[in-house]
Amino acid sequence: MEKLILNPSSGQGRGARLKTFIKREMNLRDDEIFLSKNREEIRGKAREMAEAGIDPVIVAGGDGGFNFALNGIIAASLNTRMGFIPLGMSNICALSSGIPKSARAAIELIKKKRTKSFSLARVETENLSQVFFNSLDFGYTSEISNRAETNRTLKLLLGKGSHALTAVFLFLFKNFPLIEVLVNGNTYRTTQVAVFNGPYLGGKFKLVDADPQDRQLEIALFKGKTKMQFILSILKVLMGRDGQKYFRIEKADSAEVYSQKPLALQLDGEPFAPVTHFKVSFHSKRMELIC
């Protein structure tokens, strides 16, 4: 039975390049490493391993691999621990949980098997029920990520630069629909919403200090009216300045979101199919993560 799930395409091929190193450092055979071809394979294999009694289930990949392995483990309805070796471009799930970005250091941490328990959030749409660990975003940022991540050629050639190029194109040529957010008994209208269980969005964008252990969501609603205001707010946050003044922050345990037109949904930095309506709340289970 496999003991490690490895995404060889993560980090622009970093997963493939580090396979031999990981195999040696973890003392694994080739038949104990599962090489995933897509994210649904990661979900299925993680569930299969958990149900077979493999504990911890160890995943080497990016944020998408983290999210889908997590969902597979949760679906097994067991208290299986998860280990993670970050090999992606942003690695926000590792950043939020204290896992080091170095593959060698992450492996050493896994060997020690010290575990923390984290709360999880869940999003529900008409066709999707998915757990996430760190964050959800919907609007400008999720559309940028969806288009950049699904254009595999552009992503392979430019890496993180694919998001910047996509952002320029969208801000020049696309107008975004209004989004209604129902939270804490109030209705807000915006063009961008982010829900934080942990502190980061994709690209290591930090707007709040959400703690993934405290079972409290922080919901950020963009207050500006124009694309230029949104760009300015993002730049200020990235430079460590007061970009929060452009956002209303609501603390809650659930929210419901509606959009005039379908927009991509992004969970833990991973894009999902466009939707017009979703609910977000806490999941009843917690994650046991080696970190």
Distances (CA, A) of 121 to 128, 212, 252, 267: 14, 9, 12, 10
User: 107-122 burial, b if ≥16 CB within 10 A, otherwise e?
Assistant: bebbeeeeeeebbbbb
User: Which residues, in sequence order, are bridge partners of residue 265?
Assistant: 138, 272
Residue with more model confidence, 239 or 211: 211
Range 68-85 average pLDDT: 94
DSSP designation for 189: E
Residue 79 banded pLDDT, cuts 50, 70, 90: confident
Return the closest-CA partner of residue 92 out of 206, 192, 177. Answer: 206
| Choice among 18-22, 68-72, 155-159, 245-249 with the minimum mean pLDDT | 155-159
pTM of the model: 0.89
Task: Output the pLDDT for position 144.
Answer: 79
SS3 135: strand
Residue 158: pLDDT over 70? no
Range 42-68 average pLDDT: 96
Rounded distance between C-alpha atoms, residue 104 and residue 86, angstroms: 10
Give yes or no for a cis peptide into 8 (omega within 30° of 0).
no
Half-sphere CA count of 219, side-chain side, radius 13 A: 25
| Choice among 40-54, 149-163, 211-225 with the minimum mean pLDDT | 149-163
Residue 156: pLDDT over 70? no
Residue with more model confidence, 18 or 153: 18
Q: Could you tell me where the DSSP H helices lie in 26-97?
A: 39-51, 63-75, 92-97
Query: Two tokens at 127?
Result: 């066709």
Most confident of 25-34, 160-169, 194-203: 25-34
* One-letter amino acid for residue 172 of the chain: L
Rounded distance between C-alpha atoms, residue 221 and residue 210, angstroms: 15
Q: Is 20 exposed, middle or buried (0-12, 13-18, 19+ CB in 10 A)?
A: exposed
- Ordered structural domains, the chain, with CATH: 4-113 (3.40.50.10330), 124-283 (2.60.200.40)
DSSP designation for 29: -
Question: CA 212, 240, 161: angle at the middle one, nearest 5?
Answer: 85
